[in-house]
Structure 1
Amino acid sequence: MVGNERPWIAQAFILVLYVITLVIYNRAKKEYVGGKIGAAINLIMVFVAFLFLSDYVDYFVSSLLPLGDQAKFSVKILFRLIAICVLAFGGLRFFVSKPAESGLAQQPAPMPRMEEVETAAVADLDAVVQAGMAEVGVTPPAAKAPPDLGPEETVVVQEISQSKPSLGRYEILEELGRGAMGIVYKGRDPKLNRVTAIKTIRFTDDFDEEQAAKIREQFYREAEVVAKLSHPNIVTIFDVGEDLDLSYLAMEYLEGESLEAFARKDNLMPIRKGIDVTAQVCDALAYAHSHGIVHRDIKPANIMILKNGQVKVTDFGIARATASSKTRTGVIKGTPYYMSPEQISGMKVDGRSDIFSLGIVFYQLLTGELPFGGENLAAIMYQITTVDPEPPTKHNPKIYKAAVAILNRALEKSLESRYQNAKQMGDHLRLLAQKLDELKSKAKAQEGQ
């Protein structure tokens, strides 16, 4: 009895080993998506699958075909040969691959500085635009100019082999920039031969393992939702993935500049252009808010202006993934200068929070200054929650009164007094732009007479 039971026990033991291998494979597949490690895991699993078939061919073949022992043995050898071939040729392809493209596209030339708009008599604009708005009185105390907080924190990113730089299935062409959340690369999708921008995020650098896992799941959920957005003023997301512990977003590659270049006093864009840019951001936010998505990190660095004047808002969904999360050092991730009062207070936010942040960006485009500052984080947070900003005309006397009224309403600390939706703010900006264009046309007509 014992001699007859041993083969059965051995077969059961081998079957248990295969089940354990399958469990390990599923776990590893979740941890390592894409890249060479993911490919190696798949290769090994195919090899193990053919070994499994060769070990249990007796059971499978006997139930289907009445073959003799010699035929069964031949089938078993065949499966094992296939397994060896899969491992050999797959391994050969894994270690021997074509080099990455060496030619890198040159960075687009910086956009030329725009000429200053002509100063027109616009004393009557305030009454025209404010006909559709509630009067907002502002009596701001003086505020100190914000100090330079230094360059944004950068994250340490995995070194990529120079022979074939890659991230998932994407070939890395060059680094485009670094920020507090990660590094942005210019890459190429070899399957579609499409140039993309790839933003990397390593959550484990700032969060402990358990917290990073939860944030990573939230990040993938948010990316899935944002990828469904389709709007001319929102950057398109093509793919989301993970290589080792590095999460990444593959998105539309844009040739242009961020608004950071125009948020400086020495390089302000014309006021009329700033109004148009802000109105386009309003369009993007109105669309996203209508789909239940709040950006939470509107700032000049996340707004791109293309060579044709089109505006694109980036990084939807990334801020939401880390919202209300503190790093392992206890620091809240985010850009404090552009936070809304409700974000700082830890309240639940809605689209009106993005409107406040956009108001700060609009203030910068008009003046080259930040409306709220301080010597440290606590001082900045106090300014945002309790102090009204200086009148923008103090920094730039050319700003129209109607633009100031729109700006003041966007920067209302009370949610009820602020613009209730981005479309409303965008409509008022376009009404102002229309009146400016009409006045300019009249002025030209009078000059021609």
Structure 2
Amino acid sequence: MIDFDEQFMSHSFDDAFCDESKNLLQKIGSQKRYTDGEDIACGGMKRIVNCFDSFTDRELARAYPLNDKTKLNDFLNEIRLASKLEHPNIVPLYDMGVEDGQIYFIMKKLSGSNLQDLISSSTKNSDILPLNQCLEIFLKLCDAISFAHSKNILHLDIKPANIQVDDYGQVLLCDWGLARDLSDCDTVSEDLSTQDMHPVNLELSYNNKIKGTPGYMAPEQTARRFGSRSSRTDIYSLGGVLYFLLSFKKPLEGETLEQLIKKTQEGDFISPRQRCPDLMIPTALNSVVLKAMALKPENRYLNVAELANDIRSYLSGFATSAEDASFLKQLKLLIKRNKTLFTLGSIALSFIVLLTAYFITQLKEEKLTAESAKFHAEEMAQKSIISESEARRAQKESEESTLQALGLVEDLQTEKKYSSTLKNQAAEELMEKAFTPFRHNKNYFKATETINLVLQLQPNNQEAIYHLALMEMGAFKFKQIKDLLKSYHGEQETSWITEAISPFFDKAGRMKPYTWQQQLNLANQLLDSSYNADKQYVAWHINSSIHNKFEMPDCIKYARASMAKRNKSSHFQFTADKLSDASYRVSIARSLCAPYEEIRHWKISELDLSHSNFRNLTILWNSPLKKLNIAHTPVNSLNKIWTLPLEVLNIKGTKISDYEAIYQYPLQALTINEFCSDLKRLNSISTLRELILPQAVYSPQEITKLSKNIKVTFYNYDR
């Protein structure tokens, strides 16, 4: 044992201060600790330079504020807040001080690349980062923000350029210059629409009083009227970063700062899945982005942990809270999540079947052996006792084997019954909740897709076979119908289908070429026969599919002849003129020939349906419509055609009272009815230049609130 006497302690103390230690102490006392090198970066608020720490012999980074009182205050605020944030995914602050009259702080020198450069570089080199790797980076970012929120601190400038990723997978969130403590008073700059807008570098985070980065900043960062900044403000920016990781593009883009701010305030951005269909972005992650970037803060995630949990749910194979996962989606995820278990279960089930067959075979063989032993015992008297004993033993073993086999068979039947129940349940839900609504809305493509999925689950579902035959008949796919009718044994009458399609086949059973007149005759034959809902449905399906069978000149002849036949007005007009951009101008004004299925899927840019009985807006889906006249029609809502690129719209004489869809169109000219509850809100349509109002309906006070860019005229209103 060492004796720690006074002499030992004295020698130890002297040894501690050897020459080398004394030199170090002298160096610390006489030399300036930090030596600056080359500039690393310069932003809107501070300048960062390389820095060498002579005391610890390592390279660091030193930050100086720019020469501005406001920036100095924010620089001090960054030091105060960053000192509270000790987290593996937040850049650490090592030291601060004043040198030559200038304040500074010391932080870790970053390695690797920021996320913006990393993604841009990988896409240019066709070496795209795997989705799971991107999500792991995003989760580390969420952990950093969640920790900051636990300290009541908001970052307010989350973007890919502020996220550093090194070669070893370390993720660091940088630049807390705009961060704010929630315990402080939440001040926000005035409405940016009243400030000077310059087409400057839109990546700047601190320019013209903008506290955030346009394209990633939340609406409440642009103006007080969108609410106070909160943890959900950072969640919006996190959604923007996730958008970038999924699509490799900024969520909002524009040529000027004014455009970007306006898009931010209106929530005007395209979902990543729609914007980049070729990237096959998962629906679940697309829903997470839309929820995180909701225009209203209350519609976003409650906190960062909830957002991160949705990402972890996706990575673990579960549905996210942001998506409304159906029963089928949950079932697919369950199978995918337990792929090994389901595979082993299938193998085990096959093994049980084989084992059961083996036991039954063995049972038969043992029975034969027992009978042979008994017969042999009767012939051999001397061995009768022994033979009888052996026979009984064999019989007992065979009975035990029989019981085991029966148990295995019962388990197998239970498994099959459970699997069959799941498939039946899924098929019934598809028929009731998907196929029937699609058919009711005459969405023929979705109806066909759904009925095929039902038959995958239940190949012998007679109702599905019958309805698929109707769908194929409407699409003029007569060859498939013959095979379907052979496998149909249900109660529905099918002879009319066979009779209707037989003229289209030759004696050898091959389908003959046919004209548009023959297709029209078949549709009219079905419509003119005694009322049958299935025949009516097939006829409208045939009318809507003409664009797939004939060129446009024949389609126009078909539509004119078909509509004229059922027109109930003394006046009938149908014109279709080709425009220079390969689209058409169509007019069916003052005609009463609903429905109008024949023009479904046409490339129509100008459509006049005024004074008609038109009401089914679904036929206008995906049309490149720029001019639409539905004056004096039964249409009472435009909510089914929000996405049309309408520039001229006339809703005079309609019952439309919900104008939400109208506010979304890029309108230049608009004729309205008497049901507009907020005339001033039409100012939000920035492209609107001409507004036509009913005479003596709206007050002069309301009209004077309209923008001076809008020319107002009137038409005589006849109630």
* TM-score, scaled relative to structure 2: 0.35
Quote the Cα distance in structure 2 between the aligned partners of 1:349 and 1:430: 27
Equivalent position of 2:41 in the other structure: 177
Distance 1:324 1:246 in 2: 28
CA contact (8 A) 1:262 1:365 kept: no
Secondary structure in 2 aligned to 1:361?
A: helix
* Alpha-carbon distance change, 304 to 441 in structure 1, aligned in 2, over 3 angstroms: farther
State the alpha-carbon separation in 2 of the partners of residues 324 and 243 from structure 1.
Answer: 33
Aligned-residue offset at 1:319: 4.6
* Distance (whole Å) between structure 2 residues aligned to residue 306 and residue 320 of structure 1: 27
Question: How far 1:251 sits from its partner (Å)?
Answer: 0.7
> CA deviation digits over 1:214-266, x for unaligned, max 9?
65245324412321221111110112344457543311122221101234353
Equivalent of 1:279 in 136, 139, 156: 139
Would the alpha carbon gap of residues 325 and 240 (structure 1) be closer, same or farther in structure 2, given more than 3 Å must change? farther
Structure 1 stretch 170-179 or stretch 412-421: which is displaced more?
170-179
For the 8 Å contact 1:187–1:196, the answer to whether it is kept is yes
1:253 matches 2:109: yes
Is residue 332 from structure 1 mapped to residue 209 from structure 2 by the alignment? yes
Q: Indicate the SS of the match to 2:299.
A: coil
> Distance between the aligned counterparts of 1:350 and 1:427, measured in 2?
20
* Structure 1 position 441, deviation (Å): 9.4
Q: Is the 8 A contact 1:343 1:349 kept in 2?
A: yes
Matched, 1:361 2:241: yes
Code of the aligned partner of 1:307: D
- Do 1:269 and 1:365's aligned partners in 2 also have CA atoms closer than 8 Å? no
Q: Which residue of 2 aligns with 1:67?
A: none
After superposition, residues 180-195 of structure 1 pair within 5 angstroms as 180-195=44-59
State which of 223, 229, 241 in structure 2 corresponds to 1:345. Answer: 223
Is 1:406–2:406 an aligned residue pair? Answer: no
Counterparts of 1:416 and 1:361, CA distance in 2: 20
Please tell me whether the aligned partners of residues 153 and 180 of structure 2 are also in contact (alpha carbons under 8 angstroms): no
In the alignment, structure 1 residue 316 sits paired with structure 2 residue 176 = yes
1:230 aligns to 2:86 (yes or no): yes
- Provide, for residues 245-301 of structure 1, a one-character-per-residue CA deviation record: whole Å limited to 9, x for no partner: 754331112222110123435364221111111111111001000101100111111
SS of residue matched to 1:435: coil
**Which segments of structure 1 move beyond 6 Å, counting only runs of 4 or more?**
325-330
Q: Is the 8 A contact 1:355 1:419 kept in 2?
A: yes
Structure 1 pair 372/187, CA: closer, same or farther in 2 (3 Å)?
Answer: same
* Count of aligned residue pairs for this structure pair: 276
- Quote the offset at 1:194 in angstroms: 3.1
Farther off after superposition, 313-322 or 292-301: 313-322
Of 260, 269, 273, which aligns to 1:393?
273
- Encode CA deviations 1:201-226: one digit per residue, 9 max, x unaligned: 2142xxxxxxx1x6524532441232
Determine what percentage of the aligned residue pairs are the same residue. 30
Q: Which stretches in structure 1 are left out of the alignment for 5+ residues?
A: 1-92, 99-167, 205-211
SS in 2 for 1:416: helix
Q: CA deviation at 1:195?
A: 2.0
Are 2:64 and 1:200 equivalent residues in the alignment?
Answer: yes
In structure 1, what is the equivalent of residue 157 of structure 2? 297
Aligned in 2, Cα 1:195/1:390: closer, same or farther, shift over 3 Å?
same
- The SS at the match of 1:296 is coil
- For 1:176, the aligned partner's letter is I
CA distance in structure 1 between the partners assigned to 2:79 and 2:164 by the alignment:
19
Is the contact made by 2:159 and 2:241 (CA closer than 8 Å) also made in structure 1?
yes
Which structure 2 residues correspond to residues 361-440 of structure 1 after superposition, within 5 A? 361-394=241-274, 395-396=276-277, 397-435=279-317, 439=336
CA offset at residue 192 of structure 1? 2.8
Moved more, 433-442 or 248-257: 433-442
AA partner of residue 313 (structure 1): L
Cα pair 1:271 1:399 within 8 Å, conserved: no
The alpha-carbon deviation at position 357 of structure 1 amounts to 0.9
Query: What letter corresponds to residue 427 of structure 1 in structure 2?
Result: N
Query: Does the 8 A contact of 2:145 with 2:304 survive in 1?
Result: yes
Q: Name the stretch that deviates more: 298-307 or 343-352.
A: 343-352
Per-residue deviation, 1:304: 0.8
Q: Distance in 2 between matches of 1:361 and 1:195?
A: 30
In structure 1, C-alpha distance between the alignment counterparts of 2:114 and 2:64, rounded to whole Å: 18
RMSD of the TM alignment (CA)?
A: 3.6
Structure 2 CA distance for partners of 1:320 and 1:292, relative to 1, 3 Å: closer
Larger CA Rg, structure 1 vs 2: 2
CA deviation after TM superposition for structure 1 residue 318, in Å: 4.3
Q: CA deviation at 1:411?
A: 0.6
Change (3 A) 1:224 1:191: farther
AA in 2 matched with 1:331: N
Return 413-422 or 236-245, whichever deviates more.
236-245
Match of 1:380, as an amino acid? L
Q: Which amino acid aligns with 2:293?
A: L
Which runs of 5 or more structure 2 residues have no equivalent in the other structure? 1-26, 199-206, 319-332, 348-719
SS at match of 1:419: coil
Distance in 2 (CA, whole Å) between partners of 1:230 and 1:182 is 21
List per-residue Cα deviations over 1:2-59 (Å, max 9, x = no partner). Answer: xxxxxxxxxxxxxxxxxxxxxxxxxxxxxxxxxxxxxxxxxxxxxxxxxxxxxxxxxx
Tell me how far apart the structure 2 counterparts of residues 331 and 194 of structure 1 sit (CA, whole Å). Answer: 38
Q: 1:234 to 1:179 in 2, by over 3 A?
A: same
CA-CA distance at 1:325 after TM superposition: 6.7
Q: CA deviation at 1:388?
A: 3.6
CA distance in structure 1 between the aligned counterparts of 2:77 and 2:163, rounded to whole angstroms: 23
After TM superposition, the structure 1 stretch with the greater mean CA deviation from structure 2, 346-355 or 362-371, is 346-355
Any conservation in 2 of the 1:226–1:237 contact (CA below 8 Å)?
yes
Aligned residues of 2:62 and 2:106 also touching (Cα < 8 A): yes
Deviations along 1:53-86, whole A, 9 cap, x unmatched? xxxxxxxxxxxxxxxxxxxxxxxxxxxxxxxxxx
What is the rounded CA distance, in whole Å, between the counterparts of 2:96 and 2:83 in structure 1? 9
Question: C-alpha separation between the residues in 2 aligned to 1:201 and 1:362?
Answer: 31
Note if contact 1:268-1:368 (Cα within 8 Å) is conserved in structure 2. no
Structure 1 residue 323: deviation in Å? 7.5
One-letter code aligned to 1:365 = L
TM-score by structure 1 length? 0.54
- Indicate the residue corresponding to 2:521 in structure 1: none
Equivalent residue number for residue 270 of structure 1 = 130
One-letter code of the match for 2:290? Answer: N
Whole-angstrom distance in 2 between the partners of 1:199 and 1:362: 29
Offset, 1:353 = 0.8
Contact 1:262 1:268 in 2 (8 A): no
Where does residue 414 of structure 2 map in the other structure?
A: none
Quick one: distance in 1 between partners of 2:246 and 2:60?
32
Q: Distance in 1 between matches of 2:189 and 2:290?
A: 30
Q: Is the 8 A contact 1:338 1:357 kept in 2?
A: yes
Distance in 1 (CA, whole Å) between partners of 2:264 and 2:310 is 24
Report SS of the residue matched to 1:273: helix
1:238·1:251 contact (CA, 8 Å) conserved in 2?
Answer: yes
Match of 1:239 among 87, 95, 107: 95
